[in-house]
Amino acid sequence: MTSSLTIPAIGFGTFDRRDNAGIDAITYALELGYRHLDTAQSYETEGECGEALRRSGLERADVFLTTKISAANSVAGKLVQSLEQSAENLGVDAIDLTLIHWPVTPAGRLDMPGYLTELAEAQARGLTRLIGVSNFTIADLEEAKTILGPGVLANHQFERHPYLQNQKLVNYCLQNGIAVTCYLPLARGRCAGDPVIEQIAARHAVTPHQIALAYSLNQGLIVIPTSSKHERIKENFEAASIVLTPDDLAAIAALDRAERQINPAWGPTWDQQPA
C-alpha cells in the first residue's frame, strides 16, 4: 500500500534547467519556498537538482524529490541499477517518488510486468519511498493494478491544463487513491490572452498564468510549472494562494478542447476526450 508521505501541491519542473543557469533557477525556487523538485533520467537534470539542494542548505527531509525512469531503463535487470545512479546523481540515499516515464516507445510497448515488478522491488529495498507512473491511459492503469494490486501506485503524472483537462483520467485516479500531477499546467503559455482566463485574472488581480495553475490546485491536484526567469518562478509559486469561485471553476472547465501539447506519433492510445 502507498505510504502517507505527502507530495507538495506545487513543484518546480526541471526539464531544460541544465548547467549553471539551471542550478540557479532551481536554487532560487527552493529559496522562495518550493519544496518539490520534479526531474527525470531523460531530462539530465538530476545532478542540477542535487547541487541546488546542497546549495539551499535545506534538510533532505524538507524537499520532496521525484524522478522518472527512462524507456531504456524501464526493463527488468536495468531499472534498480538506474535508480541507484539517479539517487547518486541527486546526492541522496532515497528518492521520494519514482515514476515510469512512458509505457511505450517508438519501438512499441514496454514490458509492463517486467518494469513494474522491478519498480516495486526498488520500493521494497527503500530506494524509493513511493512509486507511480506517467503518461498511462486508464487501460494501462487497470493493467498495472492486476500486476501490483490496488493501492500501490501513489501518483500519475500526465498533461493537464485548461485546454486539456483529462477529467475522465483525473476522476479515475482520484477514485483509486492515485494522486494526480499535472505537467504543462500552463499549456506552454497559451492561457495568456484567453478572454475567459484574462477576465478571471483581472477579478483576482493576478496573472492568467496564475489562474491556470490555480485551476488544478483548487481541485486538489499537483502542478509542476517551470521557468528560468526568477520573476516567473515567483509568480507561479504565488498561485498556490489563489482561491477560485465555483463560477470561476465552471468557466474554466468550459474551455476544455482536448488540445494536447505533447502527442508523439508513437504515444499511447489516449483516453477519449470531449469534443
Number of domains in the chain: 1
Tell me the C-alpha distance between 90 and 50, whole Å. Answer: 4
pLDDT given for residue 222 in this prediction: 98
- Inform me whether the pLDDT recorded for 111 exceeds 80: yes
Task: Let me know if residue 101 belongs to a domain.
Answer: yes
* Average pLDDT of the residues in 20-30: 98
Closest by Cα among 131, 144, 141 to 170 = 141
Contacts of 171 (CB under 8 A, 6+ apart): none
- Inform me whether the pLDDT recorded for 253 exceeds 90: yes
**C-alpha cell, 128:** 524509493
Task: Let me know if residue 177 belongs to a domain.
Answer: yes
Task: Let me know if residue 194 belongs to a domain.
Answer: no
β-bridge partners, 216: none
Tell me the C-alpha distance between 116 and 22, whole Å. Answer: 31
Task: Let me know if residue 58 belongs to a domain.
Answer: yes
Q: Mean pLDDT of all residues in the chain? A: 96
Tell me the C-alpha distance between 104 and 86, whole Å. Answer: 21
pLDDT given for residue 2 in this prediction: 41
* Average pLDDT of the residues in 92-96: 98
* Average pLDDT of the residues in 102-127: 97
Four-CA torsion 145, 146, 150, 151, nearest 10 degrees: -40
Tens of pLDDT, residues 135-168: 999 999 999 999 999 999 999 999 999 999 999 9
**Could you list the residue range(s) of the whole structural domain that residue 26 is in?**
12-187+221-227
* Average pLDDT of the residues in 224-246: 98
CB 37 within 8 A of CB 11: yes
Identity of the amino acid at 187: A
Domain CATH number, residue 175: 3.20.20.100
pLDDT given for residue 205 in this prediction: 98
pLDDT given for residue 1 in this prediction: 38
Tens of pLDDT, residues 198-225: 999 999 999 999 999 999 999 999 999 9
Task: Let me know if residue 261 belongs to a domain.
Answer: no
Tell me the C-alpha distance between 58 and 52, whole Å. Answer: 10
pTM, rounded to two decimals? 0.96
Tell me the C-alpha distance between 199 and 197, whole Å. Answer: 5
Q: Pairing between strand 128-134 and 12-13?
A: unpaired
Tell me the C-alpha distance between 259 and 186, whole Å. Answer: 12
pLDDT given for residue 3 in this prediction: 47
Question: What one-character-per-residue DSSP string does 113-135 give?
Answer: HHHHHHHHHHHHTTSEEEEEEES
- Inform me whether the pLDDT recorded for 275 exceeds 70: no
Q: Which residues participate in catalysis according to the annotation? A: 43
Contacts of 101 (CB under 8 A, 6+ apart): 40, 41, 42, 68, 69, 70, 71, 74, 134, 135
Task: Let me know if residue 48 belongs to a domain.
Answer: yes
Task: Let me know if residue 37 belongs to a domain.
Answer: yes
**C-alpha cell, 7:** 507530495
Tell me the C-alpha distance between 92 and 105, whole Å. Answer: 29
Percent helix, strand and coil across the chain, each rounded to 5? 45, 15, 40
